[in-house]
Amino acid sequence: MKAVIPAAGLGTRFLPATKALPKEMVPLVDKPAIQYVVEEAIAAGIKDILIITSRWKQAIEDHFDRSLELEFYLKEKEKDEHFNEVLQIGCMSHIHYIRQKVPAGLGDAINHAREFIGNEPFAVMLPDDIIVSEKPAIGQLLDMHRKLDAPILSLEQMPKEEISRYGVATATHMDDRLYQVHNVVEKPPAEEAASDLALIGRYILPPEIFDAFDRTGEGHGGEIQLSDAIDMIIEERDVYGYRFEGRRFDSGTVTGWLEANIEMALTHPTYGQGARDVIKRLNGTL
Ligand code: UTP
């Protein structure tokens, strides 16, 4: 299976940091956000990844490229740990790129993957959603997909005050973490949300989604929305939702990013102790 990582958005909620720096390159503890998502795909056995970028996002391509000067320098200075890490990032998986020239929405971004994907089901992973879990979140969805041979959407139960920031599913609970999804609505007002089940940025989609994008007009915010295309697919076949196991952070907002940094630093093998010391010291002053 191939994966598509849409990373062409403007990241306005993270300005001014994202004026020149792609949102996906903002680090969480010591790694850019998008690296966590690429590593999640690789851990789930996905080997071909297409990143949808845009004009000012060259740093993403540079990050996953080899850096011969840096490798040479680190080798010379016997900084073996950094050398190995830098080399490994430069050799990660098969990463391909295509540019979305106008930020016309998430659906439009994914539609750029049509030729890369061909006629097979594929994974979509949004780099805003960082998921820390024992088993890679996209791997959990893949398992369900193999079992049901159907599109799978990742779901998370959300408190009412946050639900209007997400696509919301109307769904029937089937078993344990599995739901059948009957429709999805992009960012409904909280009082109109059909459930507390929010769509999170991991999907296994069928290739028919590309034709659905062609039939989808501008949706919420004047953009081509993935939720609208999924809604069309639901009319034609069974679509399931899976409440994945794991802790998710929304690193596309400053508050979510801060939360992710704090929690992830506390359990980090190198920086965990330092982070815990800082929190202990601050505790008395809060
Ligand atoms: P967001 O809704 O978070 O939009 O996109 P954004 O532009 O990145 O950020 P804000 O809202 O301005 O702060 C969700 C995902 O879809 C991608 C983004 O890169 C992000 O991964 N996206 C969005 C595109 O690739 N192209 C688009 O036109 C819109």
Angle at 6 between CA 26 and CA 110, to 5 degrees: 170
> Closest residue (by CA) to atom 1 of ligand 1?
9
Distance, CA 60 to ligand 1 centroid (Å)?
A: 15
Into how many domains does the chain fold? Answer: 1
Distance, CA 44 to ligand 1 centroid (Å)?
A: 24
In a domain, 221, yes or no: yes
| Per-residue pLDDT tens over the stretch 227-258 | 999 999 999 999 999 999 999 999 999 999 99
In a domain, 251, yes or no: yes
Atom of ligand 1 nearest to the CA of 5: 21
pLDDT at 220 over 80: no
pLDDT of residue 8: 96
pLDDT of residue 116: 97
| Per-residue pLDDT tens over the stretch 178-204 | 999 999 998 999 999 999 999 999 999
Ligand 1 binding residues, C-beta < 6 A: 6-14, 23, 52, 100, 103-106, 108-109, 126-128, 252
Distance, CA 124 to ligand 1 centroid (Å)?
A: 13
| Per-residue pLDDT tens over the stretch 122-177 | 999 999 999 999 999 999 999 999 999 999 999 999 999 999 999 999 999 999 99
Q: Find the domain containing 27 and state its range.
A: 2-281
CA distance linking residue 241 with residue 197, whole number of Å: 9
Q: What is the pTM of this model?
A: 0.94
CA distance linking residue 224 with residue 82, whole number of Å: 41
**40 Rama sector, left if φ>0, alpha if ψ -120 to 50, beta otherwise:** alpha
In a domain, 207, yes or no: yes
In a domain, 19, yes or no: yes
In a domain, 143, yes or no: yes
Q: What is the CATH number of the domain that holds 237?
A: 3.90.550.10
pLDDT of residue 278: 92
Average confidence score pLDDT of the chain: 94
In a domain, 286, yes or no: no
Distance, CA 285 to ligand 1 centroid (Å)?
A: 37
In a domain, 55, yes or no: yes
